[in-house]
Chain A
């Protein structure tokens, strides 16, 4: 026990040099990937998740079509090399199935599925590196990939994890912290401040829960800004790339009219 890493030292720093309320560095890559209609790679510190979105497109089978809305199909794969210990998880693993179901139900009230009846939206989540906050990474990457694919959403979904070390709340836990602390993940729709997902799997006193829950909700706004900026940069670069042709087309129509 003596050689264990201190989770929060007396100076108020965590094992990776962050303060209590500090999030890890977030990088977002929205570039095109293969045939996917939308893709995103997000990193939260050392956690890296890639998501590709296909659709809305025709469903593979009749049984998967819903007559009045689109069906969201989520598949999660965790790369065997993503964790410290190399380990292959089968696709039927209960934990993976649960995660896929969680992501699916998080996005069902957010994606405007009623606009695409009888179609299917496929979301493929690939976990490339894991260092805590897996679910938050998956949800944030899925939001960005859906936005990138141009699928109408009611709002962003920003997920942040948090935990409590004795009495001090902390945000965005690494794997090391996650293993030792009670932790929760909350997905917030920042415009309304309402949450679509709240999960906590470890024992925590009600009063502590209230504190960390409110903190996590407010932290999601910082992440929202980050995600919005990334989408704006990507869209601006696309618009400028199209800029030359756009103005030509515009010019032609102007001439026709005159």
Chain B
């Protein structure tokens, strides 16, 4: 029997997996004053000592691994975003050459490939920052290229994006950066904005850091702030453009755990562009390999990981010799 929803998705997972009993979770929640936010149950359980932070992250990672294996055995999905024969020419170069792909709804998709292969351009097409020269980009049942600006804004409200350089506003502190989309695009009272921002900062382990400015933050903290800003609007789809670029391996691992944690909490559709290969194959359900503006392979990440395609093998192994000439 599925545990009740007031225990939150993480509470439910922990009980179902037998890691904690329902009594343990409920006891931890009862010790909280006021209404309990179900998306913060993981933090509450850690705070109450029911489980350690590390155990929780490891548990979520193992859950994701199980889900990825299930997806490999049954790779059926509803597409959240579809590309149909998309072509794009930039500065006289064909960056996308008839790309057709589907992004599974409610799953983590990684788009990998060598630099200049068209990954960021693909991501910008998904959110309408670029329009295809030919072909169509579908988000749900809407074709982006046919939308007016107002309709595009409505479609974009379903998205959030974490930019490669975080794209935080230098003149605003962490709190105001995260609050920015809520203040600008909603009519929520300031008290509600404050509680949502504090919750988002708590989810990315930045509670108490709201008054810092972007200049005072490390690379990892900037990414976490950007992720909090992406989550605070409660989007359906989160696009992440190289979330671990320029970070050391430990911070990279923590960002991957954070992405997993965010996914497990809210089951967003997530699209990650990354060069963190082969690590990313541990963190995504679906993988798309883009090379020279064309799709080489797309499917469950565990299938793509074992692809025999020489370009993909070279990409995964990081070999200097192979079809991709680097020297």
Co-assembled chains A and B: no
